[in-house]
Structure 1
Amino acid sequence: MTTLHAGASTVGLLTAAVWAPNLLSLFVGSWVDHQPRKRRLLVLADVLRCAVLLTLPVAHVLGAITLVQLFAVALVAGLGQVLYQTAYPSFFVALVRRDQFVEANSLLSGTRSASFVAGPAVAGGLVQAVTAPMAMLVDAVTFAISAVLIGRVRVADPPVADGGGASLLGRARDGMALVLRDAYLRASLACATTINLFNLMAGALVVLYASRELGLSPGLIGLALGIGASGGLAGTVLAGPLSRRIGLGRTIAVGAVLFSAPFALMPLAQGPTWSRAGVVALVELLSSVGVMCLDIPLNALMTAVTPDGIRSRVTGAFSTVNYGIRPAGAIVGGLLGEWIGLAPTMVVAAVGGSLSVLWLLRSPVISTRTLDDLRGASVSPGA
C-alpha cells in the first residue's frame, strides 16, 4: 500500500475487502455441511488462494498492478478463507477426541504463532528487498504447500448432515437461530464480535502508524511485529495451565481484555528508533498473548457445545457476524484515523475492545471451568 501511496481510508477499505466475504459464511457453511468430502474443500480453498495471489507478482512484472486488482485479490482470497474455515471444524473433530480439544487447539495455535513470529520479519525483509507484489509469490507458495500436506492426510469423512429436505436458505436460518439461542454461543459471539470491531479499527492502521507517525522502515516494522508475535507462543503455553487454574471462562475473559488493551500503548512510542520499534513489538507481544488466551479455550468450548453434522453451519453463522463485522471495523478505523488522528483511534479501539468482556459476565461462559461443565448445554439442531 505504501508503494501505491494509499491513505488511511484506502488501507481501511482494502482491509475491509479481505474480510467482506465472511458475510457469506452462513450460506457457505450451510452448503459445506452437505458436502461429503470436507478435506477436498480444504485443499480447494488453498489452491484458490494460491492462484489468486500469484496474479500480483505477474501483474508487477508486467507493470500493470492497480488498486482495482488489489481489491479483487482481497475479495477472492477472502472467499477462499471462508471456504476453508467452514470446512475445517468437521476435519478437526474427525482427528481429535473431545478430551483433547484444549490441548490440540494449543498445539495448532502454537504452530500458527510460530508462523506469526517468522512471517512479519520475513515479509518486511522481502518487501524491502524485492517489493510487496513479489513477496506475494512466497505467500502463494505457502498455500500450495498447505494444499499438498492436507491432501495427504487420511481421515474418515464425517457423516453428511440430514437437512430433512430443507433449502439452503432454511438451513442457514436454522444455523443462525441456533447460535443466537444457545447461551454459550450467544455470549461468545457477542464478545468476539465486539473485539473484532474495535481491534480491526486499530489493526488496519498499525503498519500505517508505524510507517508514517513513527518513521519506521518496512524491514524494521516487520522485525518488531515478528518479535512481538512471539507472545503468541507464550500464550499457547500459558492458555492450558491458566484454564486449568482459573477455569476456561475466566481465561477467555482475561484474553479478551489483554487482546485489545495494548493498542492504547501505541501513542506512547517516542524517542530513538529502537524505542519506537520496541513499543510496536510490546503492543504486538501483549496482544498476541491475549488472543491465544482467548482463542484456545473459546474454540474448545464452541467445539464441545456444537453437535456433529452441523458444525460448518454453526461456524458459518458465527463467522458471518464475528468476521463480517471486521470490514466495518477497518472502514471505521480508516475514517476515524483521518478524522481524529491515528493515535487517538488506537486508544478508542483499545477501550472499546476491552469492554467486550462485559458480554461474558452475565453468561454461563464466565463460570465454566472445564468442558465437563458443558454437558447441560443444549444446541440440538431440532430444538
Structure 2
Amino acid sequence: MTLGRNFTKLWWSQGLSNLGDGLVLAAVPLLAVTMTRDPLLVAGLSVAQFLPWLVFTLPAGALADRIDRRLIMVAGNLVRAVGFGLLVLTLVADVRSIAVLYLAVFLAGTAETLVDNAALTVPPRLVQRADLERANGRLFATQSAINNFIGPTAGAALFAMSAVMVFSSTAGLFALGALAAFMLPRMMPTATDTSGDKHTPGEVVRSIREGWSYFWNHRLLRRVAFISGSINLFSSATGGLLVLLVTGPLGVSASWYGLFIAIPAVGAVLGSLIAARVVPAIGGGLVTWLAALVPAASYVVLGLSGSIVLSEVVMFLAAVATALNQIVVSTLRQAVVPDGLLGRVTAGYRLIVLGAVPVGALLGGGLGRWLGPETTFVVCGVGLTAAAVVFASRVTTRALREAEETARAEASEAVA
C-alpha cells in the first residue's frame, strides 16, 4: 500500500543522503587510519561529527518550527555536499591532513542537525497517524539498508580504488538529496505556532525555551531520551574504536571492513520492517530493555571472543533491537507532541540523545588509549547494562500507551 507521492519524495531525499552517509561511514575511518593509528585521534572524528548536536540542535529545532522545513533539508544537504567537495579538492592536491578531514566531518555534522531534525518532523504532515509506524519503518529500513549496508560496502570498495572517487560520490549524493527535498510541498509553520513570523533574537530564545520546557516536563519523553542517550553514549564509545578492533585483533583487511560493518545493517533493516507487527505484539517497554541489553552483550562478546562470526551475530541482533527502539521513540514523539512544537521538542530530545555521542567518543578514545580496544568494549558492555537497570525500568508499555491517549484527549479538547 502506497503512502503517497509526497512521502515518496521524502523517501528519495533521505535515501540519497543516507547513501552519502553510508559511503562516509566506511571511507572516513579508513582515510583516518592512513594518517594516524592513535585511538584518541581516530575516535575524535566522532566527536567532530556529533559535537554540533550539542551546539546547534536547539536552534535547529526552533528553525524547523519557524520556516519551510523543506528548505531546511535542501540547504543542509547542500552544505554537506560543499564540505565533502572541499575535502576532494585537498585530496586531488595530494594534501592528506587529519585537520582537513576533521573540518569536513564537522561541517557535515552541523548540516545534519538541520536536515535530520527537520526530516523527523515531516512524516506527520504527509501521512495519517495510523500509517506513522509503517512510514517510520520504511524510512528507518531504508536508512539502515543504505547507510549501514550498501553504503559502507560501496564506500570501502571505492576507497580501495580512490579516495577522491568515494568522496566525490558522497558530495554528489548529498546534492541529489537536496534536489529531491526541493520537490516536496512547502511545509510552513502551523497556525498553532504563534511565533512563526517573529524572528528577533529574543523571540527565538523564547521559542527555544518553550520547546525545551515541553520536552523536559514530559516525563516519559525525558525518560526515553535518557535511555536512548545511554545507548548512544556507549555505542559511540565503542564505535570509534571498532575500526581498530576489526582491522587489528580480529584481522579483517581494510577492503573487507565495509562488508564487516554492513552485515549487521541487515538486522537493522529487518527490525525496521517488522516493527509495525512486533512492537504491538511484545510492547514498547520490552523493546526498550532489548535495545539496551542486547547491544551491551554484543560489546562484551566483541571484546572477549576474538571470533569474527560470533561478533557479526551479536552485532546483527543488536541492530534488530536498536531499530525496533527507533520506531518506538520516533512514533511516540510524533504522536504525542503538537505539530507546532514538534521541531523544538525533537531538538530537545536529540540534544540529549545525540549530545551523548561526542562525550562517548571521547570516553572511548581515552579508555582505548589506556586499556586497549578489547577491554574498552567489555567496560562499555557493563556500563550499558547498568544504565538499562536505572532508566529502562521506567519506560513501560502501559506508560507509552497512556501518553498517546492523553495526547489524543488534549487534541480533541483543543478542537472543541
Whether TM exceeds 0.5 here: the answer is yes
Change (3 A) 1:4 1:336: same
- Find the partner of 2:348 among 317, 330, 335: 317
1:154 aligns with 185
Partner AA of 2:94 in structure 1: G
| C-alpha displacement of 1:374 | 1.6
Call closer, same or farther: CA 1:158–1:259 in 2, change over 3 Å. farther
Distance 2:282 2:318 in 1: 20
Number of the residue aligned with 1:108: 139
Q: Which residue of 2 aligns with 1:26?
A: 58
Residue deviations 1:318-351 (CA, integer Å, cap 9, x gap):
1222111211100110010111111111112122
Q: Does 1:192 align with 2:228?
A: yes
- Give, in angstroms, the shift of residue 27 of structure 1: 2.0
Whole-Å separation in 1 of the counterparts to 2:314 and 2:241: 13
Distance in 1 of aligned mates of 2:351 and 2:253: 36
Q: 1:253 to 1:349 in 2, by over 3 A?
A: same
* Deviation per residue, 1:150-182 (Å, 9 max, x gap): 222235544262139662222222222221111
Q: 1:89: which partner in 2?
A: 120
Match of 2:26 in 1: none
User: Closer, same or farther in 2 for the Cα pair 1:90/1:234, shift >3 Å?
Assistant: closer
Task: State the partner residue of 1:374.
Answer: 404
Residue 65 of structure 1: which of 96, 100, 105 is its match?
96
Q: Partner residue of 1:345?
A: 376
Which residue matches 1:76?
107
Match of 2:359 in 1: 328
Moved more, 163-172 or 62-71: 163-172
- The equivalent residue for 1:246 is 282
Question: Which amino acid counterpart does residue 44 of structure 1 have in structure 2?
Answer: A
Counterpart CA distance in 1 for 2:351 and 2:187 is 28
SS across alignment from 1:213 = coil
Aligned position for 1:229: 265
TM-score where L is the length of structure 2: 0.83
Map of 1:201 onto structure 2: 237
Measured in 2, the distance between the counterparts of 1:346 and 1:268 equals: 9
User: Is the 1:257–1:355 Cα contact (8 Å) retained in structure 2?
Assistant: no
Identity of matched residues, %:
26
Write the distance in 2 (CA, Å) between the matches of 1:6 and 1:172: 41
Question: In 1, Cα distance between the equivalents of 2:77 and 2:217?
Answer: 33
Q: What is the 5 A alignment of 1:269-284?
A: 269-270=305-306, 276-284=307-315
2: CA distance, partners of 1:79 / 1:254: 31
Q: Name the counterpart of 1:123.
A: 155
Counterpart check, 1:16 vs 2:47: yes
CA RMSD of aligned residues (A): 2.3
Distance in 1 separating the partners of 2:205 and 2:229: 23
Unaligned runs of 5+ in 1: 271-275
Letter of the 2:404 partner, please give it: L
Question: How many correspondences in the alignment?
Answer: 372
Amino acid in the other structure paired with 1:292: A
Which one of 130, 137, 140 corresponds to residue 99 of structure 1? Answer: 130
Match of 2:9 in 1: none
Q: Report Cα offsets for 1:18-44 as digits up to 9, x if no partner.
A: 000001201221133111x11011011
Q: Amino acid of the residue matched to residue 156 of structure 2?
A: G
**1:266-318 CA deviation, whole Å, 9 max, x = no partner?**
12443xxxxx4424422431221121111011110111111111111111111
In the alignment, does 2:38 pair up with 1:7? yes
Are the equivalent residues in 2 in contact too, given 1:22–1:323 (CA < 8 A)? yes
Q: Secondary structure at the match of 1:4?
A: coil
Q: Please give the alpha-carbon distance, in whole angstroms, between the structure 2 residues aligned to 1:60 and 1:34.
A: 39
Instruction: Single out whichever of 107-116 and 329-338 deviates more from structure 2.
Output: 107-116
Q: Distance in 2 between matches of 1:194 and 1:369?
A: 19
Partner of 1:273: none
**Residue aligning to 1:263:** 299
Q: CA deviation at 1:373?
A: 5.6
TM-score w.r.t. the length of structure 1 is: 0.90
Most deviating of 9-18 and 23-32? 23-32
Q: Structure 1 CA distance, aligned partners of 2:400 and 2:360?
A: 32
Contact 2:303 2:374 in 1 (8 A): yes
1:178 corresponds, among 203, 211, 214, to: 214
Alpha carbons 1:224, 1:280 under 8 Å: kept: no
Q: For structure 1, which segment, 24-33 or 304-313, has the greater mean C-alpha deviation from structure 2 after superposition? A: 24-33
CA gap 1:279/1:141 in 2 versus in 1, 3 angstroms? farther
The 1:306–1:278 alpha-carbon spacing in structure 2 relative to 1, beyond 3 Å, is same
